[in-house]
């Protein structure tokens, strides 16, 4: 079952690699600025970008550290990352394919593991975080950035539903409490958590994933039926655009 899901994720994102490279949501943002600030004093670090997608976090890391391994399930994404890295002169950035839940690296290979907007597609985030701990050196850091679900059940189910209708490879946006549990159970020690809001323009959001028209219609119908408290929380606009929460987690392996 897990491997069928992985194959589905590979197909979904491989076909949209170029759209993710040029996506404004992915190519910019306060979270990328924060990531650069966290890595600017790590000139000798070896960094793993777990679920690198089109490579935006990898490219930020490459500006500050000694070596970056951009790791993803999608061959097409990795080919795009490798090409872009060459064009930008990031010759210390390499790519490698594989699953988040089973990393092909030795114990303690990395100083830092980063991940941005990827974990909500993973089949088993707990297993992936245990792998993160394994490949980190003692004292190494993990920095995770992702959409996060509100703790409120009504808001949570609304977000999960529109995400799954838009992208059938979606697994779950985790709440802050769930993230705390996942990190703690993996053996990683959380140092800080911060939050922000992310505006999602509807047309580019669905076009990026090539969401089928029938699913787009379902999303719009579901949005129109949303109660007032849901519409307020997600700042739902007439054209379908909305705003969601993101979480920035910093943890370490003791």
Of 2-11, 16-25, 230-239, 240-249, where does mean pLDDT reach its minimum? 2-11
Of 26-40, 92-106, 162-176, where does mean pLDDT reach its minimum? 26-40
* Tokens of residue 25, six digits: 């949501």
* Tokens of residue 118, six digits: 């990827």
State residue 103's pLDDT score.
Answer: 98
185-188 LR contacts (CB < 8 Å, sep 24+) = 185/126, 185/129, 186/126, 186/129, 186/130, 186/132, 186/133, 187/130, 187/133, 187/253, 188/129, 188/132, 188/133, 188/142, 188/251, 188/252, 188/253
Q: What is the rounded average pLDDT of the residues 163-175? A: 95
State residue 3's pLDDT score.
Answer: 46
Q: Mean pLDDT of all residues in the chain?
A: 92
| Entry pTM | 0.91
Over 80: is that where the pLDDT of 82 sits?
yes
Residues ≥6 apart with Cβ < 8 Å to 54: 17, 20, 21, 23, 26, 27, 77, 80, 81, 84
When pLDDT is cut at 50, 70 and 90, the band that residue 2 belongs to is very low
State residue 29's pLDDT score.
Answer: 87
- Between CA 179 and CA 185 the distance in angstroms is 10
Which has the closest alpha carbon to 134: 186, 69, 57, 61?
A: 186
State residue 39's pLDDT score.
Answer: 98
Q: What is the pLDDT of residues 12-34, one digit of tens each?
A: 544 565 555 565 656 668 999 99
Which has the closest alpha carbon to 166: 236, 214, 113?
A: 214
Q: What is the pLDDT of residues 192-223, one digit of tens each?
A: 999 999 999 999 999 989 999 999 999 999 99
When pLDDT is cut at 50, 70 and 90, the band that residue 1 belongs to is very low
Please say whether the beta carbons of 90 and 69 come within 8 A. Answer: no
Over 50: is that where the pLDDT of 101 sits?
yes
Of 1-15, 24-38, 79-93, 127-141, where does mean pLDDT reach its minimum? 1-15
């Amino acid at each position: 079952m897990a491997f069928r899901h992985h194959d589905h994720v590979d197909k979904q994102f491989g076909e949209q690699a170029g759209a993710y490279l040029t996506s404004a949501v992915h190519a910019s943002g306060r979270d990328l600025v924060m990531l650069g600030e966290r890595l600017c004093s790590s000139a000798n670090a070896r960094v793993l970008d777990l679920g690198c997608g089109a490579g935006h976090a990898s490219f930020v890391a490459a500006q500050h550290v000694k070596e970056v391994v951009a790791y993803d399930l999608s061959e097409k994404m990795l080919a795009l990352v490798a090409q872009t890295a060459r064009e930008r002169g990031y010759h210390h950035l390499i790519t490698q394919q594989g699953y988040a839940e089973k990393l092909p690296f030795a114990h303690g290979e990395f100083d830092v593991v980063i991940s941005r907007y990827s974990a909500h597609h993973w089949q088993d985030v707990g297993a992936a975080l245990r792998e993160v701990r394994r490949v980190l050196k003692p004292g190494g850091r993990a920095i995770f950035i992702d959409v996060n679900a509100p703790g409120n059940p009504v808001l949570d189910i609304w977000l999960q539903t529109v995400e799954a209708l838009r992208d059938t490879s979606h697994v779950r946006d985790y709440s802050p409490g769930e993230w705390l549990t996942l990190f703690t159970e993996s053996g990683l020690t959380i140092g800080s958590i911060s939050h922000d809001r992310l505006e999602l323009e509807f047309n580019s959001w669905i076009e990026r994933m090539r969401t089928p028209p029938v699913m787009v219609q379902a999303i719009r119908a579901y949005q129109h039926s949303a109660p007032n408290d849901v519409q307020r929380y997600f700042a739902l606009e007439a054209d379908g655009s909305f705003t969601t929460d993101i979480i920035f987690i910093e943890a370490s392996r003791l």
